[in-house]
Structure formats: structure tokens, C-alpha cells
Amino acid sequence: MRIVRALRESGVASVAVYSEADRASLAVLMADEAAYLGPAPASESYLCIDKIVDAAQRHGAEAIHPGYGFLSENSEFAEACEAAGIVFIGPPAAAIRQMGSKTAARKLAIAAGAPVVPGTESAIDNLTNAKETARRLGYPVLLKASAGGGGKGMRRVDREADLEAAIRDASSEALRAFQNGEVYLEKLVLEPRHIEIQILGDRDGHMIHLGERECSIQRRHQKVIEECPSPVMSEHPELRQRMGEAALRIARAANYYNAGTLEFLVDRDRNFYFLEMNTRLQVEHPVTELVTGLDLVQWQLRIAAGEGLTIRQEDVRWSGAAVECRIYAEDPDRQFLPSPGQITRLTEPAGPGVRLDSGVYEGWTVPLDYDPLLAKLAVGAPSRATAIARMKRALADYTIAGIRTNCAFFAEIMDDAEFRAGRLSTAFLDEFFARRKVHEPALETEAVAALAAALAQRKPTAAPSTAPTSQWLQTGRETLLR
């Protein structure tokens, strides 16, 4: 829907591809045309390069935007588009191939003078070498898929006895998700911040960075809340410049153009390490757009059409703050289990500073076949504190009935003292759940039953003779007068 809207603003017709599971999806209904790919399994639809290229040719499409997932970081897909005379709205295939391999990207980053997390520079080829490397790095270590992202093919390993099974599981998951089962090892940086830098470049070599996004709040290595700017930048403003320059060095070394994101870990001492590059538009790009005022998808289209960047680095300004929550059909109280089903009622938030990139509608059935992301709720405001208050209000305005969502969970985080203070790390959610468990009232079953019985037997009392004192009169008027 994000891309369909951008194309419509540009006066360009859109063709949405879909699988059987997405036949009634909002993008299919809203696009100018739609092309059926095949059954629900991605291996029979969204991962079929030939089917997508054939659909583009049959509908007379001049370009393909790969979106966020599936083939969006697949160099063979970019090459197939080029071979068919179709513009790929993204970076060149060679850059996707080099940066899509996390091991190759690490080598390039080292050559470009950027710091990287200690680990292997090639995929694991046998268990003996993996054990030796893990001992040298020291446990805990992290297994990661060489291709793809989103937390798939990633496993934390705390002891050698678990390494073999973790490699097998990570490799199997990576193969299913990215058609590439290679995994490599990194030293696990404990409780870092996850901060990424957005870059934008044209085919003539002009390149700028658009600052950072704080993406530390994650579940199962997948981001759920993002914000711009990062709270750490207010304390260390020079960090943005150093990380931005490192990101540009790496991207230039890869001969990159179009939009891209370089991800870094920042430790407690404000040292940063290159992690990987996403050679596509990020799910969380709205927070950058809200703070910089730039439309990244429009720039993707313009660069793909051969236009040059008209923005210099000194032209980029960051104004205010933005926060994004990824709204999922899932149950946070049950280890974030997916919650597919029909949306029986939908009321979407609006108002000043609220942006909703949604892909659902009332009456639609959320399938179990894919990632259960429903929408991205983003807010912009003059300050981080105001953005948090605005997000809390927007979440309260959001009603999605018929399925479970994480809206109430996000509302709790907006009230969390550690979040409000900007004390974030990739361990935030584990610590948040621990704090929440400690603060839950310890009511025994007998006490609950006794209270219920007492309330049931209580006689109604007469209405008070005077109206209760208004909280507005108590506090609001005095606040305004101050």
C-alpha cells in the first residue's frame, strides 16, 4: 500500500502481485491491476522470480519495486529484471549480492575502515571449525544467516554443547526463508543499542545519509518499536556524524545507489560496530520521513528513473521526534504467538502528527501463511516526550476486534519509566517483562473469590448529593494558569 500510494501520487499505474492467501488483500483491491502468482506457500508464489517477471511483462510494467521481504534483497531477481528490460527499483545486482552476504559485507566494511563485531568472515563449513572459532571468541556467540534478515536464521548459543543443534536449526530456517542455508558466527555484544543509518544515493555517485533510527526494542531479533532520532544522540551528537560517515564509506565501497540501510550495534561505551546492510527500503522508514520531511519511496522512484540527487548532505535537517510501533496480529502474553482470524471491527487512529501505513480492512481475514504485520503506526511531534504522549493517544484510538494485537502492549511500554528515559538496549523487552511481573499484584485465588462474593452481595448506595470533583478543575486549570 505504501508503494501503491507513492505511484498514484506520481501518476503511475500499479500492478500488485498476490498469492492465493492474499487474494482479498488491501493492496490487491487498491492497485490499478493485480496479477495472481500461485498458492499460498512463498516457494510457489512470492519467491518465484519467473512468475513475477512474467506477470510484469504481461501487464506491460516498466519497473518492479521489490517491497520489504521475500525477493527484495535477492540479486538474481534484480538480474532477472534487468535481463527482461524491466527497471529494478533498488540498488544494482552486484551491490545486493555483495552486501546481501553478511560475510562479504563484513570484509568490505573492514576494507572501508569501519569497525565490525568480532566473528568469522566466511560461512561455517564444519562443526570442528565452528567450535574452535566460538572458543576463540568466547561464549555467548550468535549464529546468523549469511543472507536475509528479520531475525530468521539467528540463534544465540551460550555453551559448546548447544552449538551443533543451533547450527542445524539456524541453517534450516535460513534455507526456508532465503533459499540459502549458510550461517556464520559473531561474538554476542551484550545489551547493545541497535542503531541504523539510512542512506540515499544516485547512479552518478552522489550519496547522503539521513541520520539514524533507534531499533533496539526487539522480540526474537525482530524490531517492534523504532524511533528517530535515537535518544543517545542527544547525549553524544558527534556519534551521528561518525556513524553516518562510516555508513557512507561502506556504501560507496559497494558502488551502491538508491535507498539502503546500514545497521550498527552501539555498546555501553558508545563504541559502534557495523552489523549488516539492508539493500532495500526498511519497514521503519516512516520515522525518518517524519523527521527529515523527505519521501524515501518517491526518491527511490526518481533515482530508478535516472534522476540525480538534488539534496546535499548539508541540506539534511532533523526536526522533532518520531516513534513507530509495528502493529501485529499476535499475543504478547503468549510469547507473541500469531493471532490469525477475521477483523470484525476496525477503527483507525488519526489526528495531528499521526501516520498509519496499514494493509488491512474491516472484514479481512489475517492469514497464517506470512508475517502477521497489520500496520505501522507512526507519530511525529516537536519532542520525544510529546511523540510518546501522541503515540499513547493514537494507540488508545486504535480498535482491531476479532483478533489479538500488540496495541495494549505498546501502550504499556509508552508508560514505562525506562523507555521514557531513553534507556534502551536489545535486552529491553526481557527486562520490561521482568519489571511487569514484579509489579503485578499477588492476589490469591481465595482473596479474589471473597472480593467477588462481597461485591455481588453489596446493596446499591444512594447517589451522592454533590457531583464528584472534576480532575480538570483540580489540576488542569492550575496547570494552564501556570
Query: In a structure prediction context, what are the per-residue pLDDT tens digits for the chain, which is 482 residues long?
Result: 999 999 999 999 999 999 999 999 999 999 999 999 999 999 999 999 999 999 999 999 999 999 989 999 999 999 999 999 999 999 999 999 999 888 899 999 999 999 998 888 888 989 999 999 999 999 999 999 988 677 889 999 999 999 999 999 999 999 988 889 999 999 998 889 999 999 999 999 999 999 999 999 999 889 999 999 999 998 888 999 999 999 999 999 999 999 999 999 999 889 999 999 999 999 999 999 999 999 999 999 999 999 999 999 999 999 999 999 999 999 999 999 999 999 999 999 999 999 999 999 999 999 999 999 999 999 999 999 999 999 999 999 999 999 999 999 999 999 999 999 999 999 999 999 999 887 665 544 555 555 555 555 555 544 444 444 455 444 444 444 44
Q: Is residue 474, in this structure, part of any structural domain at all?
A: no
Give the length of the chain.
Answer: 482
Rounded Cα distance between 222 and 213, Å, is 14
CATH number of the domain residue 32 falls in: 3.40.50.20
Give the torsion sign (CA, 164, 334, 398, 370). Answer: positive
d(CA 215, CA 223): 6
Cα separation, 226 vs 194, in Å, equals 10
Flag whether 60 is in a domain: yes
Cell 467477588 identifies what position? 452
Helix 93-100 to helix 75-83 angle (10° resolution) is 170
Q: Which three cell numbers stand for residue 326?
A: 509495528
The residues annotated as belonging to the active site are 280
Q: Are residues 156 and 301 in the same domain?
A: no
In a domain, 83, yes or no: yes
136/76 same-domain check = no
Asked whether 232 and 239 are in contact (CB, 8 A), the reply is yes
- Cell numbers of 103, please? 560475510
> How many domains does the structure of the chain reveal?
3
Alpha-carbon distances of 155 from 119, 275, 461, rounded to whole Å: 14, 15, 59
Q: Give yes or no: residues 6 and 136 share one domain.
A: no
In Å, how far are 454, 458, 459 from 447, measured between CA atoms? 11, 17, 20
Helices 407-415 & 384-397 angle (0-180, nearest 10): 150
- 155 and 203 co-located in one domain: no
Residues 200 and 156 in one domain: no
Same domain, 65 and 205: no
| 237 & 383 share domain | yes
Give the number of other CB atoms < 10 A from CB of residue 153. 27
Nearest to 291 by CA among 324, 249, 326, 243: 324
Cβ 37 vs Cβ 52: under 8 Å: yes
Query: Are residues 355 and 298 part of one domain?
Result: yes
Q: Residue 270 falls within a domain, yes or no?
A: yes
Which of 187, 211, 244 lies at the terminal end of a domain, its last residue?
Answer: 187
Query: Do both 177 and 199 map to the same domain?
Result: no
Residue with cell 562510516: 246
Residues 198, 219 within the same domain: yes
In a domain, 199, yes or no: yes
Q: Is residue 446 part of a domain?
A: no
Phi, psi of 276 (to 5 degrees): -170, 170
The domain boundary residue, chosen from 187, 210, 238 = 187
For the entire predicted model, the pTM comes to 0.85
Domain holding 250, by residue range, is 193-435
Q: Which of 99, 149, 76, 68 is nearest to 256 (CA)?
A: 99
CATH number at residue 156: 3.30.1490.20
108 found inside a domain: no
Here the cell at position 173 is 530456517
Does residue 422 share a domain with residue 325?
yes
Longest CA pairwise span in the chain (Å): 82
> Quick one: 232 and 277 in the same domain?
yes
Domain harbouring 385, CATH code: 3.30.470.20
Q: Which of 312, 199, 194, 300 is nearest to 245 (CA)?
A: 199
Three-state SS string over the chain comes to: CHHHHHHHHCCCCCEEEEEHHHCCCHHHHHCCEEEEEECCCHHHCCCCHHHHHHHHHHCCCCEECCCCCCCCCCHHHHHHHHHCCCEECCCCHHHHHHHHCHHHHHHHHHHCCCCECCECCCCCCCHHHHHHHHHHHCCCEEEEECCCCCCCCCEEECCHHHHHHHHHHHHHHHHHHHCCCCEEEEECCCCCEEEEEEEEECCCCCEEEEEEEEEEEEECCEEEEEEECCHHHHHCHHHHHHHHHHHHHHHHHCCCCEEEEEEEEECCCCCEEEEEEECCCCCCHHHHHHHHCCCHHHHHHHHHCCCCCCCCHHHCCCCCEEEEEEEECEEHHHCCEECCEECCEEECCCCCCEEEEECCCCCCEECCCCCCEEEEEEEEECCHHHHHHHHHHHHHHCEEECCCCCHHHHHHHHHCHHHHCCCCCCCHHHHHHHHHHHHCCCCCHHHHHHHHHHHHHCCCCCCCCCCCCCHHHHHHHHHHHC
Q: Is residue 316 part of a domain?
A: yes
